[in-house]
Amino acid sequence: MARPLRMEAAGIPCHLMIRGNNRENVFIDTDCFNRYMEILKGYKERFGYKLYCYCLILNHIHLLMEASEKALVSKIMQCVNTSFTMYYNKKFGRTGHVFEGRYKSKIIKDDRYLLGVSRYIHRNPLKHGLCQDPRDYKYSSIKSYLPSSMDDGLVDATFILKMLNDDIDMAKKEYEALLMDCS
């Protein structure tokens, strides 16, 4: 039986999750984390998609993105994950899949849900015991959402921040408070 077609369209945010094959760690060292980020940035420049949030955990990835007219999410993910798989297999002298099956995707239907998914993605390292404070996790987009952060050219944080406040500096403070709220 054929796999069901994905619901996707340009201009609609999606929460994407992909896991390492057999739930194994994909990000073995700093170079692996950095290479995945470089690949994301390269394809962002090529396809013009919006990346609202990301978090790279040892054995899985969360992305909150919006496809562009140039490429749908499926094309973007195919390019990103194929490029990373080629790098990974060459680096570690192996062959085969790095990621487990198809990525999972969930269309974001409203702003409140978008804000909640963003918070969930940024708090994910806490859930997996990788840090005590999500603001300290190096391999997520959280720094783009915090006061006195700089634009790294990868993350499009303004759209989500403006849901909280039109004043971006105030919005960053409000986002930080939302992030740290344990309820």
CATH code for position 89: 3.30.70.1290
Q: Which DSSP string do the residues of the chain spell out, in sequence order? A: -PPPPP---TT-EEEEEEEBGGG--S--SHHHHHHHHHHHHHHHHHH--EEEEEEE-SSEEEEEEE--SS--HHHHHHHHHHHHHHHHHHHHT--S-SB-SSPEEEE--SHHHHHHHHHHHHHHHHHTTS-SSGGG-TTBSGGGGSTT----SS---HHHHTTT-SSHHHHHHHHHHHHH---
Q: Mean pLDDT over all residues of the chain?
A: 91
Query: How much of the chain exceeds pLDDT 70, in percent?
Result: 95
pLDDT at 21 over 90: yes
- pLDDT interval class at 8 (50, 70, 90): low
Q: Identify whether 163 is part of a domain.
A: yes
Which domain, by its residues, includes 68? 13-180
Find the mean pLDDT for residues 61-71.
90
List pLDDT tens digits, range 80-137.
999 999 999 999 999 999 999 888 999 998 999 999 999 999 999 999 999 999 999 9
Q: Identify whether 24 is part of a domain.
A: yes
Number of domains in the chain: 1
Q: Identify whether 8 is part of a domain.
A: no
